[in-house]
């Protein structure tokens, strides 16, 4: 056991056990994590595409804004051990988006500006489990938190909620994305503490 | 937070690399597999506020290295580097 | 540590030498889910060369309202070169650990010391600056770094520091015998935030010239600079490029990039400029 330093403790605090997954602690701020430079895509350039179905389906920003939107309040859990409760987002449900696509795949790879990717089984983004979110806390999502829009999959570790998301590629295999191919768990269920390979 | 503040350089992972490679690495040279630029590790772009450490080419931002640490294992991906020249 | 000769380095992507490369590396092999296996039960194949040592606080100096220097007695410490840093690791009673890097402030022949700035929302720095008492112990490993290191070779030295970026530069100043020609350009928000002010005043005229710029507020009668570092300021303060000084720039990424770009504009060779960027989390 490494040396304990008198009086040192982490910043996180305990929270209601039924809402904080194992190994997590509660934070009140919203930490910014990033694996690279913040992309700055203008709304004029922005599109969202779903490929891998019978044919690609694409929305411009204005078209995306015209889709039925939902406001959701969810808890989020980062694999770096912080959890934040009751975060409020607004965006389009993945169910709504997939209604426009003729597909029969079981998996997807989400891809983002800047090259980030993350893989998900379709059963984990359907039936009200996932959104493409463009507002946070009632305001447009800031670039440092993934704006113009990010994936939101709150029941899994937050690395699955890809920032700066631009589309989904539907696939027949669960091909690991950026972090999943280098140590992080293929699924990432925080309640089963699926952080790393083999967990 | 100003996101440019999150972009550090290879000095920030001097300890990590010394632990992984067993030799001082900030004066090693990495060659980017994407654009071919040769650069001192100390001058590469490093992001440490993430689920893992990501090292990128300062010229084209391609990912050169990824390091993920769990309590009992470390994953290291160097596939973005064409080669490393060590001061050894 | 000598660098390989005959290779031109890039600076922030400028003047990069492109190596002939016929093809890109192959894409990483895609794994199937079943290949993500658990830990392999075997001993680690090599010991880490860098081990954690136990350091005990032997003294503290409050340099500014948010900055403190801690002198340390680290059992097994093998010494360091000016500019290097060490890693600090704190462990809480529940096993929670946090680790950060801090530049060594002391010269190699002085007692080991680090100077720490308390950062808002910091995890480690508030403990080091506010809580650590004489006799407290924590883990350190080091020294680390072979790039951002100064060795006197007779060439003049230009040190450019922003905020706590002055710390490794101070180790360099403290290491010089006074015979080295050194200039320090030090950017702080206010006079109150200037670290090592009294010592720098004493050292002025003994081999080091000090130039200050206070970017947020200046005291009445201030005759130093009062703007963020730019090419114009550097032109007035820096050694002429033809003198071929060693340059060390340390601070936030924005500070370092601005200062380095400014010097390159003044004709400095990028390879003569060494940079160290500090993060904003502590």
pLDDT for the residue C4: 34
Domain total in chain B: 1
pLDDT for the residue C36: 54
State how far residue C226 is from chain B, nearest Cα, in angstroms.
Answer: 22
What is each CA distance from A121 to A106, A126, A129, A182, in whole angstroms?
Answer: 6, 9, 12, 18
Strands (E), chain C: 53-64, 67-74, 85-91, 97-103, 113-117, 137-144, 157-162, 182-188, 208-214, 246-252, 273-278
Q: Average model confidence (pLDDT) for chain C?
A: 85
A72 band by pLDDT with thresholds 50, 70 and 90: very high
> What residues contact residue A67 under an 8 Å CB cut-off, 6+ apart?
A59, A92, A96, A97
What is the mean pLDDT of the segment spanning A148-153? Answer: 98
Q: Do B77 and A179 touch (CB under 8 A)?
A: no
Q: Do A5 and C98 touch (CB under 8 A)?
A: no
C27 band by pLDDT with thresholds 50, 70 and 90: very low
φ, ψ of residue B43 in degrees (nearest 5): -100, 0
**3-state SS assignment for residue C195:** coil
Q: Find chain A residues with C-beta within 8 A of C137's C-beta.
A: 3, 5-6
pLDDT for the residue C65: 96
Strands (E), A4-106: 25-26, 47-51, 57-60, 70-77, 82-93
pLDDT for the residue B5: 84
Q: Find chain C residues with C-beta within 8 A of A7's C-beta.
A: 127, 131, 136
pLDDT for the residue C45: 34
A65 part of contact set with chain B, CB < 8 Å = no
| Whole-angstrom distance, CA of residue C168 vs CA of residue C201 | 18
What is the mean pLDDT of the segment spanning A50-75? Answer: 98
Q: In terms of Cα–Cα distance, which of C75, C70, C71 is closest to C52?
A: C75
pLDDT for the residue B1: 53
Q: Do C252 and B5 touch (CB under 8 A)?
A: yes
Q: pLDDT tens digits for C175-200?
A: 998 888 999 999 999 999 999 999 99
State how far residue A141 is from chain C, nearest Cα, in angstroms.
Answer: 22
C281 band by pLDDT with thresholds 50, 70 and 90: confident
What is the mean pLDDT of the segment spanning C33-58? Answer: 61
Neighbours of B24 (CB within 10 A): 24
> Following DSSP, what letter does each residue of A137-153 receive, concatenated?
TTEEPPGGGTTT-EEE-
All structural domains of chain C: 53-144 (2.40.30.10), 157-278 (3.40.50.80)
Residues of chain C with pLDDT > 90, as a percent, come to: 76
Q: pLDDT tens digits for A168-198?
A: 999 999 999 999 999 999 999 999 999 999 9
Q: In terms of Cα–Cα distance, which of C85, C90, A76, C19 is closest to B8?
A: C85
Residue A90 has pLDDT above 90, yes or no: yes
Closest residue to B5, CB basis, from C24, C39, C254: C254
Maximum Cα–Cα distance across chain C: 71
Q: Do C278 and B8 touch (CB under 8 A)?
A: yes
Neighbours of chain B (3+ CB pairs under 8 A): A, C
C49 band by pLDDT with thresholds 50, 70 and 90: low
Q: pLDDT tens digits for C125-144?
A: 999 999 999 999 999 999 99
Q: pLDDT tens digits for B22-79?
A: 889 999 999 999 999 999 999 999 999 999 999 999 999 999 999 999 999 999 999 9
All structural domains of chain A: 46-188 (3.90.420.10)
C131 part of contact set with chain A, CB < 8 Å = yes
What element of type H or E holds C199?
helix C197-203
- C243 versus B3: the higher-pLDDT residue is C243
What is the mean pLDDT of the segment spanning A58-73? Answer: 98
**3-state SS assignment for residue A185:** coil
What is the mean pLDDT of the segment spanning C28-44? Answer: 42
Q: pLDDT tens digits for A19-61?
A: 999 999 999 999 999 999 999 999 999 999 999 999 999 999 9
C50 band by pLDDT with thresholds 50, 70 and 90: confident
Q: pLDDT tens digits for C197-221?
A: 999 999 998 889 999 999 999 999 9
| Whole-angstrom distance, CA of residue C11 vs CA of residue C13 | 5
Q: Do B42 and C147 touch (CB under 8 A)?
A: yes
**3-state SS assignment for residue A159:** helix
- Full residue range of the structural domain in which residue B24 is found: 3-85
Q: Find chain B residues with C-beta within 8 A of A79's C-beta.
A: 51
Q: pLDDT tens digits for C222-275?
A: 999 999 999 999 999 999 999 999 999 999 999 999 999 999 999 999 999 999
C18 band by pLDDT with thresholds 50, 70 and 90: very low
pLDDT for the residue C205: 82
> Following DSSP, what letter does each residue of chain B receive, concatenated?
--GGGG-EEGGGGHHHHHHHHSS--TT-EEEETTT-BEEEGGGSEEE-SSSSEEEE-TTT--EEEEEEE-SS-EEEE-TTEEEEE---
Under a CB-based contact definition with an 8 Å cutoff, are residues B20 and B76 in contact?
A: yes
A174 part of contact set with chain C, CB < 8 Å = yes
């Amino acid at each position: 056991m490494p040396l304990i330093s008198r009086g040192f403790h982490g910043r996180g605090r305990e929270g209601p056990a039924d809402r904080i997954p194992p190994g997590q602690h509660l934070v009140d701020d919203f930490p910014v994590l990033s694996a690279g430079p913040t992309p700055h895509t203008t709304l004029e350039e922005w599109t969202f595409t779903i490929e891998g179905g019978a044919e690609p389906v694409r929305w411009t920003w204005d078209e995306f804004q015209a889709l039925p939107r939902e406001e959701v309040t969810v808890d989020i859990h980062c694999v770096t051990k912080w959890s934040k409760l009751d975060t409020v987002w607004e965006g389009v449900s993945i169910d709504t988006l997939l209604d426009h696509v003729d597909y029969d795949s079981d998996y997807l790879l989400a891809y983002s500006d800047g090259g980030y990717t993350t893989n998900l089984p379709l059963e984990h983004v359907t039936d009200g489990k996932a959104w493409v979110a463009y507002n946070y806390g009632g305001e447009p999502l800031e670039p440092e938190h993934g704006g113009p829009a990010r994936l939101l999959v709150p029941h899994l570790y937050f690395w699955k909620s890809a920032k700066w998301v631009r589309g989904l590629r539907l696939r027949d295999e669960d091909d690991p994305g950026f972090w999943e191919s280098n140590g992080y768990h293929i699924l990432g269920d925080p309640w089963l503490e699926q952080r790393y390979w083999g967990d | 937070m100003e996101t440019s503040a999150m972009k550090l350089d290879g000095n920030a992972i001097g300890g990590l690399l010394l632990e992984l490679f067993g030799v001082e690495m900030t004066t090693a040279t990495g060659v980017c597999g994407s654009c071919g630029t040769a650069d001192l590790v100390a001058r590469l772009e490093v992001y440490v506020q993430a689920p893992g450490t990501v090292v990128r080419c300062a010229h084209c931002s391609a990912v050169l290295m990824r390091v993920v640490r769990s309590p009992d294992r470390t994953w290291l991906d160097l596939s973005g580097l064409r080669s490393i020249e060590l001061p050894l | 540590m000598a660098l390989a000769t005959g290779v031109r380095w890039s600076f922030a992507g400028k003047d990069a030498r492109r190596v002939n490369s016929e093809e890109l590396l192959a894409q990483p092999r895609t794994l199937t889910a079943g290949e993500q296996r658990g830990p392999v039960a075997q001993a680690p194949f090599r010991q880490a060369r860098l081990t954690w040592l136990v350091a005990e606080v032997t003294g503290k100096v409050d340099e500014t309202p948010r900055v403190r220097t801690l002198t340390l007695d680290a059992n097994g410490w093998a010494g360091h070169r000016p500019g290097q840093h060490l890693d600090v690791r704190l462990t809480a009673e529940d096993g929670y650990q946090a680790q950060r890097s801090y530049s060594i402030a002391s010269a190699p022949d002085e007692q080991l010391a680090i100077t720490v700035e308390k950062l808002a929302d910091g995890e480690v720095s508030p403990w080091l600056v506010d809580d650590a008492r004489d006799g407290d112990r924590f883990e350190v490993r080091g020294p680390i770094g072979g790039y951002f290191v100064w060795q006197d070779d007779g060439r003049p030295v230009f040190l450019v520091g922003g905020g706590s970026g002055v710390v490794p530069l101070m180790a360099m100043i403290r290491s010089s015998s006074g015979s080295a020609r050194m200039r320090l350009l030090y950017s702080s928000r206010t006079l109150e935030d200037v670290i090592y002010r009294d010592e720098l005043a004493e050292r002025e005229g003994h081999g080091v010239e000090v130039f200050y710029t206070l970017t947020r507020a200046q005291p009445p009668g201030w005759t130093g600079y009062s703007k963020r570092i730019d090419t114009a300021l550097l032109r007035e303060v820096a050694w002429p490029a033809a003198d071929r000084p060693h340059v060390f720039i340390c601070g936030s990424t924005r500070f370092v990039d601005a200062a380095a770009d400014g010097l390159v504009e003044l004709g400095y060779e990028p390879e003569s400029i060494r940079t160290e960027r500090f993060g904003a989390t502590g």
